[in-house]
């Protein structure tokens, strides 16, 4: 199939082409793409805004990331931030800077992924910017959501004795990344002058790849919590790793915490892969990041109701600040939680 | 002065460092930086959202752009888009991706510029993302504003016989860019092994530099229009050049237009510089871009009131669509307006 050079369409042509079928689904979207700014209308609700920037070579590697997945992930990551406030994601703006090596078809794939996530979560794409880049792809997304004032959950509301919960399981996205990086290294070292595409056999490890390449924003958990009548006292999504996020919540809430290593939810495939790679699976779960699961605290009296929720695990409790932020190992030893994560990118 | 490596502070350290003194000024800013999303509250007003992405080497050249000016410009460009809807800018998110060659002091300069523009226009910085880049600096800004429903001005409201107006003067930012590029070429060609900084003598041309490096969002014009009781029928800010923006308004409004070359406002320094560079000053004014002046249409009956406004010029009128989008030259010849602008970046 012949690929279309982006310069054939131009900026406005490309935007028209990519956005012509977009229909707003939210009543609050008065006017979307096509003017200097989108127009949103909120009544008695509060507006939530979050933004993220993703850079090629830092946040994603196109050797093994299909553009459609990248679009889905970029959108999901921002949608996840609105859920992490206990809000409903409603609108999104999408800015993309791309070098000449990208074609219109590439951008279609990318937009397909973005729109798939948007449709799944009822989000309207209402604007953005498309521009050129000298090197690689840069993506910036802003997601806007709404919530009733009394429903919004901040990071700073956790209290002593609150229970600490996480959704899903942790470390899988990180193990997926390790797997992809390992296969990429093999691929590069064996030489591929014949232009053979990167397509290793990942069978049996699909779940890890999916968690890395196509993370899901946990709107289902937000819905479950609401249905169970539980309002968390604090909440975050886990993007940098459980340790880092727990430290944020403790700092902002003025508490300490105690988390039990053997309560941390880990998928079977994650454990197998960690073993295969000779890595400590708990280190991966605590510091791996990119899980986009929800970390939240609830009052002690919610204990029974929390236990009825599907896919939510109780991993510890909040303590007095003097007790520090501690991981209790299987052998009963207390180790201080340390933040790792994004820092490593700059140190590379 | 010793520069601080960004890795010394880390992401969160850097954000804390840069944002610790930020105090919200808008009542609608319920919660700013420090959670998954900012929280805004709007009552009977509508919310406006705009976003822009700026890439090093495409949108700016750090050889001759001080980082403080870059911050000011990046913020102003977005604020300008909210004014172009006849809105009031209120909040901003700022995402920055930077390579290792930038120091904390560099980012302070950049933030200083952003905050200067924010303070000038009463905008709260409420969130963002700071991350690393393999090459160069990438900036993405989203600005959120408010307006009463009945005050919002779209691009599609122009009617036949409406008067076409622009604020300020055009082409100066483009001539400023030409000047900087010329001096940079001289600087590079003469060899500077001694590490001498780029500092040519720009005396007498300060205005052109200022228009390129430190453009002003025309909130003053929005205020003047409101005070004069004039609501434009359509409005845009001029980022890609007068021709391109007129075509947008005509297309979206379903009209043609007639613009008189000799009515196009051009500053004395712009004319001198165009002469010096052997360029047609009207081509610069029509296609140069980055003026961030306001282009708007008003009903014919506003004629007298428009004439009383400082710094607003009447340049033509809207016509039937069949008459096309025309520039009437000094000799009375009609030439069709053509869009140029961003396209050229991709073609380079």
Question: Minimal Cα–Cα distance from B323 to chain A, Å?
Answer: 23
H, E, C per residue of A199-232 = CCCCCCCHHHHHHHHCCCCCHHHHHHHHHCCCCC
For range B127-142, the mean pLDDT: 90
A2 or A118, which is more confident: A118
For range B132-153, the mean pLDDT: 92
Residue with tokens 């036949």: B160
For range B106-129, the mean pLDDT: 91
Residue of A nearest to B251 (CA): A34
Predicted structure pTM score = 0.89
Residue B74: which residues within 8 A CB-CB, separation 6 or more? B52, B54, B94, B113, B114, B139, B141
Alpha carbon distance B270, B275 (integer Å) = 9
Of B137, B181, B13, nearest to A55 by C-alpha is B137
B22-64: pLDDT as tens digits: 788 888 888 777 777 788 888 778 899 999 899 999 999 999 9
Q: Mutating which of A28, A42, A142, A240 best tests the B interface, going by the most B Cβ atoms within 10 A?
A: A142
- With a cut of 70, say whether residue A346 has pLDDT above it: no
C-alpha count within 13 angstroms, C-beta hemisphere, residue A234:
28
Whether residues A97 and B49 touch (CB distance < 8 A) is answered with no
- B-chain CB neighbours of A52 within 8 Å are 95, 129
Q: Which helix (H) or strand (E) holds B94?
A: strand B88-98
Residue of A nearest to B45 (CA): A41
Crossing angle of helices B6-19 and B104-121, in 10° steps, is 10
Q: How confident is the model at residue A225 (pLDDT cuts 50, 70, 90)?
A: very high
DSSP 8-state secondary structure symbol assigned to residue A191 = -
For range A246-260, the mean pLDDT: 96
Whether residues B51 and A81 touch (CB distance < 8 A) is answered with no
Question: Minimal Cα–Cα distance from A334 to chain B, Å?
Answer: 26
Reported ipTM: 0.86
Whether residues B53 and A138 touch (CB distance < 8 A) is answered with yes
Angle, alpha carbons B132-B134-B138 (nearest 5°): 60
DSSP 8-state secondary structure symbol assigned to residue A236 = E
Of A108, A73, A79, nearest to A92 by C-alpha is A79
- With a cut of 50, say whether residue A94 has pLDDT above it: yes
Q: How confident is the model at residue A202 (pLDDT cuts 50, 70, 90)?
A: confident
A158-187: pLDDT as tens digits: 999 999 999 999 999 999 999 999 999 988
Q: How many helices (H) and strands (E) does chain A have?
A: 11, 13
Question: Minimal Cα–Cα distance from A53 to chain B, Å?
Answer: 6
- With a cut of 80, say whether residue B284 has pLDDT above it: yes
- With a cut of 60, say whether residue B347 has pLDDT above it: no
For range B107-114, the mean pLDDT: 92
Q: What is the pLDDT of residue B322?
A: 97
Highest mean pLDDT among B53-67, B142-156, B311-325: B311-325
Long-range contacts of A9-15, Cβ-Cβ distance < 8 Å, separation of 24 or more: A9/A104, A10/B342, A10/B343, A10/B346, A11/A130, A11/A131, A11/B342, A11/B343, A11/B346, A12/B339, A14/A104, A14/A107, A14/A130, A15/A128, A15/A130
- With a cut of 50, say whether residue B316 has pLDDT above it: yes
Length of chain B: 348
Q: What is the pLDDT of residue A155?
A: 93
Sheet holding B138-147, edge to edge: A29-31, A38-41, B46-55, B138-147, B88-98, B124-132
- With a cut of 90, say whether residue A21 has pLDDT above it: no
Q: What is the pLDDT of residue B131?
A: 87
Whether residues A81 and B36 touch (CB distance < 8 A) is answered with yes
Residue of B nearest to A130 (CA): B53
Lowest mean pLDDT among A60-69, A282-291, B12-21, B199-208: B12-21
Q: What is the pLDDT of residue A343?
A: 40
The whole-chain average pLDDT of chain A stands at 90
Alpha carbon distance B136, B134 (integer Å) = 7
- With a cut of 50, say whether residue A30 has pLDDT above it: yes
Q: What is the pLDDT of residue A342?
A: 41
Alpha carbon distance B232, A248 (integer Å) = 48
| 8 A C-beta contact, residue A102 and residue A142 | no
For range B111-135, the mean pLDDT: 90
| 8 A C-beta contact, residue B120 and residue B158 | no
Q: What is the pLDDT of residue B24?
A: 82
Alpha carbon distance B296, B279 (integer Å) = 27
Whether residues B48 and A38 touch (CB distance < 8 A) is answered with yes
B223-265: pLDDT as tens digits: 999 999 999 999 999 998 999 999 999 999 999 999 999 999 9
Which residues in A90-119 are b (16+ Cβ under 10 Å) and which e? bbbbbbbbbbeebbbebbbbbbebbbbbbe
Q: What is the pLDDT of residue A181?
A: 93
- With a cut of 90, say whether residue A137 has pLDDT above it: yes
- With a cut of 60, say whether residue B191 has pLDDT above it: yes
- A-chain CB neighbours of B343 within 8 Å are 7, 10-11
The whole-chain average pLDDT of chain B stands at 90
Structural tokens at position A56: 């090629």
For range B3-18, the mean pLDDT: 76
| Backbone phi, psi, residue B141, to 5° | -125, 135
Lowest mean pLDDT among A111-125, A207-221, B19-33: B19-33
For range B100-127, the mean pLDDT: 90
Lowest mean pLDDT among A24-33, A135-144, A283-292: A24-33
- With a cut of 50, say whether residue A347 has pLDDT above it: no
Q: What is the pLDDT of residue B1?
A: 64
């Amino acid at each position: 199939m012949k690929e279309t050079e982006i310069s054939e369409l131009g900026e406005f042509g490309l935007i028209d082409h990519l956005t012509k079928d977009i229909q707003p689904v939210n009543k609050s979207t008065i006017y979307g793409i096509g003017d200097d700014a989108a127009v949103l209308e909120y009544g008695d609700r509060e507006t939530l805004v979050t933004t993220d920037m993703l850079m090629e070579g830092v946040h994603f590697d196109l050797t093994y990331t299909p553009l459609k997945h990248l679009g889905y992930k970029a959108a999901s990551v921002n949608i996840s931030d609105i859920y992490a406030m206990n809000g409903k994601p409603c609108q999104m703006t999408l800015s993309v800077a791309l070098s000449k090596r990208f074609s219109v078809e590439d951008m279609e794939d990318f937009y397909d992924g973005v729109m798939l996530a948007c449709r799944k979560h009822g989000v309207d794409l209402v604007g953005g910017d498309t521009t050129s880049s000298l090197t690689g792809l840069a993506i910036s997304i802003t997601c806007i959501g709404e919530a009733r004032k009394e429903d919004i959950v901040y990071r700073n509301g956790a209290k002593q004795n609150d229970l600490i919960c996480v959704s899903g399981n942790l470390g899988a996205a990180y193990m997926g990344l390790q797997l992809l990086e390992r296969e990429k290294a093999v691929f590069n070292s064996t030489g591929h002058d014949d232009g053979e595409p990167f397509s290793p056999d990942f069978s049996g490890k699909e779940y890890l790849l999916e968690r890395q390449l196509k993370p899901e924003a946990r709107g289902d958990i937000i819905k479950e919590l609401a249905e169970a009548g539980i309002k968390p006292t604090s909440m975050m999504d886990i993007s940098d790793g459980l340790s880092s996020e727990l430290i944020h919540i403790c700092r902002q809430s003025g508490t300490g915490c105690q988390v039990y290593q053997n309560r941390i939810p880990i998928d079977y495939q994650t454990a197998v892969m960690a073993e295969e790679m000779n890595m400590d699976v708990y280190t991966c779960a605590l510091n791996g990041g990119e899980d986009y699961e929800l970390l939240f605290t609830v009052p002690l009296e919610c204990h029974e109701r929390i236990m009825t929720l599907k896919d939510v695990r109780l991993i510890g409790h909040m303590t007095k600040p003097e007790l520090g932020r501690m991981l209790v190992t299987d052998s009963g030893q207390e180790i201080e939680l340390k933040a790792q994560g994004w820092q490593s990118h700059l140190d590379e």
